[in-house]
Structure 1
Amino acid sequence: MNKGAGSGPTAAAAAAAAQKQKTLMQRVETDIASIVDNFSQLVNVARVNDPPVRNSQESFMMEMRASRMVQAADSLLKLVSELKQTAIFSGFASLNDHVEQRTNEFNQQAEKTDRMLARIGEEAAASLKELEAHYYSSGHRTTQNSQQ
């Protein structure tokens, strides 16, 4: 049961996996860019002044940037967890595919073996009939029966 390339559930699963991978990579790039940008802004806002004067606006900016960095880092951690789950489940999916493929191969081999055994049985029955006919019609059989 071979399926053509580009058709069936395998192609759909591959397309879905490629789309999911693209989405995950976009999330990674967005989160990393957010962390880098917010860290740069945090460093700029946290410049050292002499004397150290901080107003409430600078303090708020620092807190906001730090919060955004934490959110982006949390998003990356969730992404890692999702990738782990995907790897586990795709591993099971490929294992199931392999088991199904092997089952199909063994079923085909069993059918082939059954056909071969049936053919051998038919040939043996035909040969046995031929041998019986030859034996019962042979002169050798009649001479052995008359000597007894």
Structure 2
Amino acid sequence: MFITQYRHFALSPGKGLKCCQIIDCFGKVIIMAARNTLMQKKPAAKAQILRDYRLRLRDNIRSIRENFSEILKSAKVEHDSQANPFTQFEQDQYELQVRVATISKAGENLLKLISDLKQFLILNDFGYVNEAVTLNTTQCQADQDNLNGRLSNVKDDLSSVLSELEHEYYHRSVLL
């Protein structure tokens, strides 16, 4: 429901958003989901959990931004370097590997945050659970009423057939 609000941020060639803007939109979606799920908890607990989610989100997004900008900075070719070109290449390659690993770790942490939010939403969304139980109870009650009506019709039919059979049986036995 929150994702559909950001559907207009589709990435098309030449018209897409920057990586940082997408991450900001993603962060807003997570915070909105956290706020809506925390409405049923105590205010102090809601605020603490919300602060924890925000802190985790900010740290991971900051890590992704910083490392991404450093990767872009290191992509510039510097001819003024006093180091051997092969040494500089190895150093740059190692730095890129470390930064990409850090971005990957921050991405995994964001996925874990999403998983935590989903779990929190599933476990603590009592309104939805109560609504589902009420809906299932209503549906089962309707099915039970339907089956009771059918059984009543079958009982009436069997009763009429049985009375006809008894009537026929006793009339034949009298004739014999």
Normalised by the length of structure 1, the TM-score is 0.52
For structure 2, which runs of at least 5 residues remain unmatched after alignment? 1-38, 134-176
Q: 1:25-60 CA deviation, whole Å, 9 max, x = no partner?
A: 2101111012111111xx334x9xxxxxxx962221
Equivalent-residue separation in structure 1 for 2:59 and 2:112 (angstroms):
16
Mapped pair 1:78 → 2:105 = yes
For structure 1, which runs of at least 5 residues remain unmatched after alignment? 48-54, 107-148
Match of 2:52 among 6, 12, 16: 16
Which residue does 2:73 correspond to in 1? 37
Mapped pair 1:27 → 2:63 = yes
Equivalent-residue separation in structure 1 for 2:57 and 2:110 (angstroms):
9
Identity of aligned residues (%): 9
- Structure 1 103/36 Cα, relative in aligned 2: closer, same or farther at 3 Å? closer
- Structure 1 4/89 Cα, relative in aligned 2: closer, same or farther at 3 Å? closer
Please tell me whether the aligned partners of residues 31 and 72 of structure 1 are also in contact (alpha carbons under 8 angstroms): yes
Please tell me whether the aligned partners of residues 28 and 76 of structure 1 are also in contact (alpha carbons under 8 angstroms): yes
Equivalent-residue separation in structure 1 for 2:128 and 2:100 (angstroms):
43
The one-letter code sitting in structure 2 at the alignment partner of 1:82 is N
Query: Which one is further off, 75-84 or 55-64?
Result: 55-64
Equivalent-residue separation in structure 2 for 1:34 and 1:74 (angstroms):
13
Q: Decide which structure has the larger Cα Rg and report it.
A: 1
Equivalent-residue separation in structure 2 for 1:4 and 1:83 (angstroms):
24
Residue correspondences, number: 93
Equivalent-residue separation in structure 2 for 1:67 and 1:103 (angstroms):
50
Question: After the TM superposition, which residues 1-148 of structure 1 pair with which residues of structure 2 at under 5 Å, given as runs?
Answer: 7-40=43-76, 43-45=77-79, 57-98=84-125, 100-101=126-127
